[in-house]
A and B are shown apart, each in its own frame.
Chain A
Amino acid sequence: MTTSSDSPATKEAGATLLQRHAASAWNPHIVVFACNWCSYAGADTAGVSRIQHQPHFRMIRVMCSGRIQPGFVLRAFEKGADGVLVSGCHFGDCHYIFGNERAVEQFEKTMNVVKLLGLEQGRLRLEWISAAEGVRFAQVINEFTDQVRELGPSPLAIKRAAI
């Protein structure tokens, strides 16, 4: 992110994104990190039950939410994500006992950096979803997608568009 936000090129590309947002022709880019045992399984449950939800997210599976380090989330924002959802098992359900509690600590660290970067806090969310909660998975995705859509293109994505 070396490009200055004041350069004419950036302004133009950024303006395009913002225009599309204003014209409701813009869809957010969302990265969802999910643990293998609960939230990824919950997304599969939504699939088996054909519970429809918004398609603007891409899932990255890891074994445990404890694996989701700040660097993953920050890289997603750096590359142009408008929102990042970190998900794992409910407390007490973690396949690895306390992995999700470590995930909370990692998440808090990440959130601090996100604030430092000047991004809205609403672009990053932490959710617990069990393997059975297909309906909840779909709800979380829909809510988060709407929330990020409301926030509009990420300032980092606008900058990146110009590079």
Chain B
Amino acid sequence: MLVRQHDPEVEEVTILYTDLRAFGKGFDDFLQRSRDEKSATYVRGRPAKIERVPEDDTLEVFVEDTLGHQQKRIPADLVVLSVAAAPNDGAIKLADILGIETNEYGFIDRRDPAVSAVETVREGIYVAGSAVGPQVIPDCVAQASATAARAQLFLTGHRVTEEAKTVEPMDLSGPPRVGVMVCHCGINIAGVLDVEDLVEHARTVPDVVVAKNHQFACSSTGQDELVEIIREHNLNRIVVAACTPRTHEPIFRETCARIGFNPYLLEMVNIRDQCSWVHARQPAEAQVKARALIRMGVARARHLEPLQEGEVPMTQAALVIGGGIAGIQAATDLAAQGFPITLVEKEGRLGGRLAAPNLKYLYPNMRPAAEVLAAKLKRLKESGARILLNTEVENISGFVGSFDVELKGETEESLSVGAIILATGADLADPQGEYGYEKLANVVTSEQLERALFENEDAVIVDGRKPTSAAFVLCVGSRDPEACTGCSRYCCPTAIKQAIHLCRQGIDTTIFYRDIRTISTGAEEMYRQARGMGVLFVRIPPGQKVEVVGDGRVEAVRCYDDLLARRLEVPADLVILSVGMRARQPETDKFHDMLKTSVGLDGFFLERHPELAPVETAVEGVFLAGTVQGPKDIVDSVAQASAAAAKASVFLAYDKVKQDPAVAVVDEAKCRACGACVDLCQFRAPELVRTADDTFAARVNASLCKGCGTCASWCPSGAIASKHFTDRQVHAMIDAFFAEEVAS
């Protein structure tokens, strides 16, 4: 897709693959879009050879298309090798120095691949990211935060008292002197927009005294240069034309604060996410838009006012909702640091899916789930977390620092907490009668098979009989574009784990799959082992389903084998549906209503940013742990839970939380004391007070005001200003849009 975006003249892009492992959240959608937009042709096959064509100095790739069943010669000007992730050269040496172990490939070993998210074999040494094996960025970031949570366990009692501000505020008074920095963001912006032209244009805008460009404005050199131009040109307003303020404004504000430049005199202009990325096919129009956006940003900046951040008290306690493995881990990590933690679980027992009889053994090392859970529960008990079973959250109100929670169940109480971790888990998809489920007695879900293992591990019995042949159907309720569901991640390794188990009992086992996505540590090895044992893998084309044949009981499974290119009928007296994960209901709707945390199209809670903030939500003080954010297995849930704990402790370590000063302010001279704002506000921020000259006027309590600005738009006398989004600032943006363009 990027190749086409940056070079529209490229005629053909071909991707050679074996399995399309688009396992991350939203990855399948991405793959689908690439197909819909015909950005690449996907060919299943490995290249046999790549040859140079001497006539025109191009290349030719020889490949057998294993789905189209023909040999192909693909002409190419460029061949890109997607190389495997390999351990660092120094990994083994480093492991040696640290006294930790590496695996057969040279990656660092986790203590227990089934459950240790970040632990090495040695206490006190933790590992994150691709040092343990290939990883995607969201998982790396979650693991990195999880290592922080582990390290915090050794820093118990650590609390931060805000040191007195030593930075002298800069004198920023006087008429606006605006500096503009336009970011290239590598080729993200500069690949579409002419950055030099934008800089030139910025120089022509009123009050701009300096305009510069930078490869990466958010890098440390970019930040340093920003500081430099502020000082050199005595700037009192800064405009950064780069990406979205929703992710990067905090970074630039921090830099401003560091040198005593009031952070509220910074304006960000979004020329990446909302311009170069979405108008790449119309670069000329995109350029016009980017120029206008910069004019509008400068216009707003000219009217920005310095604001002082307030503080509200932080209740240094947290609530963890859900007592599955993620909730247990998050509660343990926080409570062990000495924070008062309440863990609520609606059921009468802890452990969620890990608890008997849901899971018998964990892949990849067949670790007994009961053993893992017992160890986790022991740690939880030692941590001092308060555990409330058979208890549900009735209501939550308030904001970061002071959430008011009403609990109902064995204990009915009101609780005040500073932060909340959502760990309510996920549901498994209901096959809804498909594949003969609930009609044919020997069609079960992967969960039901796991339960059967509890009853008789050595000779699995389903519906009173010992099966002789078994068929697994993968992706039941997963990877369905209609339902917006992606890959559920855990099902491929789980099916292989269960298949190995059945195969050992002499049961002929076949796995019907679309792509095998053995992405977790040790799963690829399990896949190899299963094939070695004789488990058959049959690839079914996307959009097609296997047909389950039988009367009362399954007798066989029919389907089209994509690799053999013919229809098959495989005898089966047990069919296992590997069901995917779905957002848990009604919990998701309930907490969405209470907390206003966004929900994605797949129904799961939406993280603040997939890479930058995978466990945070857009609502400050609310964090996500485990499958509440999307399908994942035990070890990934544990990593995410620890990450959520680490992120929550960033707030809990302080006794105060910063308050956004962008609130509503009443001009008492203009106020007629009609009380419209008092009736309107959901947060009871405005109230009518007696003024000095013995009349009445509204006054807004800044610590209650959330800064939505609705009262400012509602006020019939125009007496309320919504700070940082004033009428004047918005009007200036509108005017600047049309200042130059309308005549053209």
Q: Are A and B a genuine interacting pair, yes or no?
A: yes
Q: Which residues of A come within 8 Å of B, CB atoms?
A: 27, 29, 31, 36-38, 40-41, 43-44, 46-53, 55-56, 58-64, 66-69, 71-72, 75-76, 79-81, 92-99, 102-103, 106, 130-133, 138, 157, 160-161
Q: Are A62 and B273 in contact (CB under 8 A)?
A: no
Q: Are B742 and A29 in contact (CB under 8 A)?
A: yes
Contacts of A60 in B (CB 8 A): 296, 730, 733-734
CA distance A121 to B56 in the complex (A): 60
Contacts of A63 in B (CB 8 A): 662, 707-709, 722, 725
The minimal Cβ–Cβ distance linking A65 to chain B, given in whole angstroms, is 9
B598-609: CB near A (< 8 Å → 1, else 0) gives: 111100001000
Contacts of B26 in A (CB 8 A): 49
The minimal Cβ–Cβ distance linking A75 to chain B, given in whole angstroms, is 5
Q: Which of B91-99, B286-294, B504-512 contacts A (4 or more CB under 8 A)?
A: B286-294
Does B170 touch A at the CB level, under 8 Å? no
Instruction: Please give me the residue from chain A that is nearest to B706 by CB atom.
Output: A96
Given A60-B734, A64-B709, verify A132-B725 contact (CB < 8 Å).
no
Selected contact of B279 from candidates A55, A66, A99, A106, CB within 8 Å:
A55
Selected contact of A52 from candidates B29, B281, B733, B735, CB within 8 Å:
B281
CA distance A92 to B734 in the complex (A): 29
Selected contact of B598 from candidates A66, A132, A161, CB within 8 Å:
A132
Q: Are B708 and A50 in contact (CB under 8 A)?
A: no
Q: Are A44 and B710 in contact (CB under 8 A)?
A: no
Q: Are A50 and B277 in contact (CB under 8 A)?
A: yes
Q: Are A67 and B709 in contact (CB under 8 A)?
A: yes
Interface size on B, as a range, is 35 or more
Q: Are A53 and B278 in contact (CB under 8 A)?
A: yes
CA distance A62 to B726 in the complex (A): 10
With A36-B246, A41-B618, A97-B596 given, name 13 new contacts (CB 8 A).
A38-B598, A46-B278, A52-B281, A55-B282, A58-B289, A62-B709, A63-B662, A63-B708, A63-B709, A76-B734, A93-B592, A102-B710, A131-B598
CA distance A106 to B245 in the complex (A): 26
Q: Are A64 and B708 in contact (CB under 8 A)?
A: yes
Instruction: Please give me the residue from chain B that is nearest to A153 by CB atom.
Output: B742
CA distance A80 to B272 in the complex (A): 26
B243-261: CB near A (< 8 Å → 1, else 0) gives: 0111000000000000000
Q: Are B601 and A44 in contact (CB under 8 A)?
A: no
Contacts of A76 in B (CB 8 A): 734
| Residues 685-722 of B contacting A (Cβ, < 8 Å) | 706-710, 712-714, 722
Contacts of A27 in B (CB 8 A): 285
Contacts of B102 in A (CB 8 A): none
CA distance A92 to B601 in the complex (A): 16
Q: Are B285 and A79 in contact (CB under 8 A)?
A: no
Contacts of A71 in B (CB 8 A): 727, 731
Selected contact of B742 from candidates A37, A66, A160, CB within 8 Å:
A160
Q: Are B279 and A95 in contact (CB under 8 A)?
A: no
CA distance A79 to B710 in the complex (A): 24
The minimal Cβ–Cβ distance linking A25 to chain B, given in whole angstroms, is 11
Q: Are B244 and A66 in contact (CB under 8 A)?
A: no
Contacts of B619 in A (CB 8 A): 95
Contacts of B125 in A (CB 8 A): none
Instruction: Please give me the residue from chain A that is nearest to B715 by CB atom.
Output: A69
Does B682 touch A at the CB level, under 8 Å? yes
Q: Are A40 and B296 in contact (CB under 8 A)?
A: no
CA distance A98 to B710 in the complex (A): 10
Q: Are A67 and B713 in contact (CB under 8 A)?
A: yes
Most buried by B among A44, A46, A157: A44
Contacts of B708 in A (CB 8 A): 63-64, 66-67, 95-96, 99
Q: Are B244 and A50 in contact (CB under 8 A)?
A: no
The minimal Cβ–Cβ distance linking A113 to chain B, given in whole angstroms, is 14
Does B410 touch A at the CB level, under 8 Å? no
Q: Are A47 and B285 in contact (CB under 8 A)?
A: no
Q: Are A72 and B730 in contact (CB under 8 A)?
A: yes
Does B1 touch A at the CB level, under 8 Å? yes
Contacts of B606 in A (CB 8 A): 131-132
Contacts of B598 in A (CB 8 A): 37-38, 41, 93, 130-132
Contacts of B122 in A (CB 8 A): none
The minimal Cβ–Cβ distance linking B676 to chain A, given in whole angstroms, is 11
Selected contact of B596 from candidates A50, A51, A72, A94, CB within 8 Å:
A94
Q: Are A98 and B274 in contact (CB under 8 A)?
A: no
Contacts of B281 in A (CB 8 A): 52
Q: Are B280 and A59 in contact (CB under 8 A)?
A: no
Contacts of A43 in B (CB 8 A): 273-274
Contacts of B244 in A (CB 8 A): 44, 47
Contacts of B289 in A (CB 8 A): 55-56, 58
Q: Are A79 and B274 in contact (CB under 8 A)?
A: no
Q: Are B246 and A75 in contact (CB under 8 A)?
A: no
Contacts of A161 in B (CB 8 A): 742-743
Most buried by A among B1, B598, B682, B708: B708
Contacts of B17 in A (CB 8 A): none
Q: Are B738 and A80 in contact (CB under 8 A)?
A: yes
Selected contact of A132 from candidates B280, B600, B713, CB within 8 Å:
B600
Contacts of A51 in B (CB 8 A): 33, 278
Instruction: Please give me the residue from chain A that is nearest to B39 by CB atom.
Output: A50
Q: Are A31 and B742 in contact (CB under 8 A)?
A: no
A-B contact pairs, 21 of them (CB 8 A): A29-B738, A31-B734, A37-B618, A41-B246, A41-B598, A44-B270, A47-B277, A48-B277, A50-B5, A50-B277, A59-B293, A64-B708, A66-B713, A67-B725, A72-B727, A76-B734, A79-B735, A79-B742, A96-B708, A131-B606, A160-B742
Instruction: Please give me the residue from chain B that is nearest to A64 by CB atom.
Output: B708
Contacts of B5 in A (CB 8 A): 50
CA distance A135 to B376 in the complex (A): 42
CA distance A116 to B63 in the complex (A): 68
Q: Are B741 and A29 in contact (CB under 8 A)?
A: yes
Contacts of B286 in A (CB 8 A): 55
Selected contact of B293 from candidates A40, A44, A48, A58, CB within 8 Å:
A58
Contacts of B246 in A (CB 8 A): 36, 40-41, 44
Q: Are B292 and A58 in contact (CB under 8 A)?
A: yes
Top-7 shortest CB links A-B: A66-B710, A47-B273, A67-B709, A69-B713, A64-B708, A96-B708, A80-B742
Q: Are A72 and B737 in contact (CB under 8 A)?
A: no
Contacts of A36 in B (CB 8 A): 246
CA distance A72 to B274 in the complex (A): 21
Does B105 touch A at the CB level, under 8 Å? no
Contacts of B274 in A (CB 8 A): 43-44, 46-47, 59
Does B30 touch A at the CB level, under 8 Å? yes
CA distance A81 to B245 in the complex (A): 25
Most buried by A among B5, B277, B599, B738: B738
The minimal Cβ–Cβ distance linking A146 to chain B, given in whole angstroms, is 15
Instruction: Please give me the residue from chain B that is nearest to A76 by CB atom.
Output: B734
Does B483 touch A at the CB level, under 8 Å? no
CA distance A71 to B713 in the complex (A): 9
Q: Are A49 and B737 in contact (CB under 8 A)?
A: no
CA distance A85 to B280 in the complex (A): 23
Q: Are B596 and A138 in contact (CB under 8 A)?
A: no
CA distance A31 to B743 in the complex (A): 16
CA distance A52 to B278 in the complex (A): 4
CA distance A80 to B741 in the complex (A): 10
CA distance A68 to B285 in the complex (A): 27
Contacts of B738 in A (CB 8 A): 29, 79-81
Q: Are A79 and B737 in contact (CB under 8 A)?
A: yes
Does B680 touch A at the CB level, under 8 Å? yes
Contacts of B280 in A (CB 8 A): 50, 52
Contacts of A81 in B (CB 8 A): 734, 738
Instruction: Please give me the residue from chain B that is nearest to A82 by CB atom.
Output: B742
The minimal Cβ–Cβ distance linking A123 to chain B, given in whole angstroms, is 15
Most buried by B among A55, A75, A93, A157: A55
CA distance A81 to B680 in the complex (A): 31
